[in-house]
Each structure stands twice: as C-alpha cells, then as structure tokens.
C-alpha cells in the first residue's frame, strides 16, 4: 500500500538543498532570471530546520527528515520523467499548470512547478502507477468522440493552429513530454497532446513519421478520440517512449 506525502518547497530552498547535497540540477528547476533574491540575512536551509525538514545532529551537521530524505531519494533515482503542461486554450498566453511526474525510482513523485512555491506529492510505495497518475492529471471528458475522416497534420510547435478551436473553447489542453534516464529532462523520447472541449469532443495529437523539417518540431497528427482511446494512449506513453498511432 502506498502512502502519499506532500511537501512544499520554495525555489530557493530547492537550490540550497541541491547545493548542500552537491547535486546541481537535482530538481530540474531553473531559477528564473527575475526571481527575487532571498531576504538578506536569511538562510533557506535554516527555514527548513525550523519546519523540521532538516534536523541537526550533535555535531551540527544537517540531515534530511524522513519525509524529505524519501523525496530526495525518489527524485535522484527516477528513470522516467513526464512533463504535463495544461492550459485552457491552445492560442496565446494564459494561465497554465505544469507537473513533472517522476517514476522508476524508489517512489512516484508528482511535482507541481510553481514560483516561488513548488508542491511535491510522493507515493513512496508506488513505483508502477505512472499511467494512472497521467490519466488523473489529464482527466479526459467522457464520451465516444466524433469519429470520422477528420484528421489534421502539422508540426508540434504549431499545435495552436492544428485543430480549430470549438465555439465554446477548450475545457483543457494537455501536452505531455516523456523523457527517460536520470538526466531525462534534456531529451524527449515521446510526446502526446489531448485537446478536450468537453463530452464527446476529445482530440488526440500524436507523432507520426512525417517529412523531415528543421523547424516546427516533430510531425504530428490530430484525430477525434473517445475517452477510452485517450486513456489507452496515456497508458502507452507511460509504458513505452513512443506512443504513436499504429
């Protein structure tokens, strides 16, 4: 049985921990160029001591608490990272939510990226629930879709122009990028997008072997899909780096 532990850490605390562990890039979170500097005279590590996430020993050395230690170990040992970026539209800037889901190590980590506070949910006893976690994040609307011959081809970078936005707008647009390896965030091994306009209005966007191009990213195809097909595609992305249509 898995147990979920939730921790909240600021960007400065994440970097201070990485420096203390001599593990630059541990969290995969760059410090934004416009991020405010820590308040003069404050130490991010001291704040973690106050919150009980770091514990000093008799010699004054700082050691992670059980919960923080488990999180660091799960992040450090992960083999698969799926970035999930979600917005309410494919066109133009707007509010967005970004999760990094890390799996294949000592636990499954859902990292909701934020500034200045990042939220981590660790399922320490769960290493094989990546697919279920992706389905829960995407939360596709129910329905049988609108099957037919409609199909749109284009480039991943031009996702906003690929499928005409419905009159009522999109309920949620989810873009998922999978990377494998301990430095997985630097290399994309699979991608998928789900455009959700509500019941019976789902689109799947997947890679296909299109013509080579130096611009616009991978060739993709968008097709109407049922909720079951979306769920199956998310499971395929979790289990294999290439979830493209057969």
pLDDT band at residue 245 under the 50/70/90 scheme = very low
Strands 190-196 and 172-180: antiparallel
The Cα angle at residue 64 between residues 63 and 70, in degrees rounded to 5: 140
The verdict on whether omega for the bond into residue 116 sits within 30 degrees of 0, i.e. cis, is: yes
What residues contact residue 214 under an 8 Å CB cut-off, 6+ apart? none
**Mean pLDDT, rounded, of the chain:** 84
Q: How confident is the model over 34-49, as pLDDT tens digits?
A: 666 666 667 889 989 9
DSSP designation for 106: S
102-114: average pLDDT: 91
Beta carbons of 94 and 88 less than 8 angstroms apart: yes
User: Cβ distance 170 to 138 under 8 Å?
Assistant: no
Angle at 183 between CA 101 and CA 222, to 5 degrees: 55
Reported as a single tens digit per residue, the pLDDT across 122-178 is 997 666 789 999 999 999 999 876 766 688 999 888 887 888 888 888 889 999 999
233 Cα distance to chain centroid: 16
Q: What's the confidence (pLDDT) of residue 74?
A: 92
Sequence-distant contacts of 55-59: CB under 8 A, at least 24 apart: none
The Cα–Cα gap between 95 and 197 comes to 17
Give CA–CA dist 170/189, Å, rounded.
27
Q: What does the pLDDT read at residue 236?
A: 92
Rounded Cα–Cα distance for residues 105 and 22 (Å): 20
């Amino acid at each position: 049985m898995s147990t979920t532990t939730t921790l909240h850490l600021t960007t400065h605390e994440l970097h201070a921990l990485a420096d203390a562990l001599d593990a630059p890039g541990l969290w995969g979170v760059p410090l934004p160029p416009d991020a405010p500097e820590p308040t003069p005279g404050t130490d991010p590590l001291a704040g973690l001591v106050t919150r009980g996430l770091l514990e000093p020993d008799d010699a004054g050395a700082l050691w992670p608490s059980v919960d923080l230690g488990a999180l660091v170990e799960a992040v450090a040992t992960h083999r698969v990272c799926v970035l999930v970026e979600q917005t309410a539209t494919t066109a133009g800037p707007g509010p967005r939510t970004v999760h990094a889901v890390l799996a294949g190590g000592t636990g499954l980590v859902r990292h909701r990226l934020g500034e200045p506070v990042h939220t981590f949910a660790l399922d320490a006893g769960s290493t094989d629930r990546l697919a279920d976690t992706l389905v829960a994040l995407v939360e596709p609307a129910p329905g049988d879709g609108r099957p037919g011959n409609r199909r749109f081809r284009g480039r991943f970078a031009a996702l906003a122009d690929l499928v005409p936005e419905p009159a009522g707008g999109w309920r949620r647009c989810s873009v998922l990028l999978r990377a494998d390896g301990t430095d997985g965030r630097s290399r994309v091994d699979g991608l998928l997008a789900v455009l959700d306009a509500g019941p019976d209005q789902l689109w799947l966007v997947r890679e296909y072997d299109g013509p080579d191009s130096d611009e616009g990213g991978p060739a993709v195809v968008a097709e109407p899909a049922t909720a079951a097909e979306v769920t199956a595609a998310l499971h395929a992305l979790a289990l294999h780096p290439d979830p493209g249509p057969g």
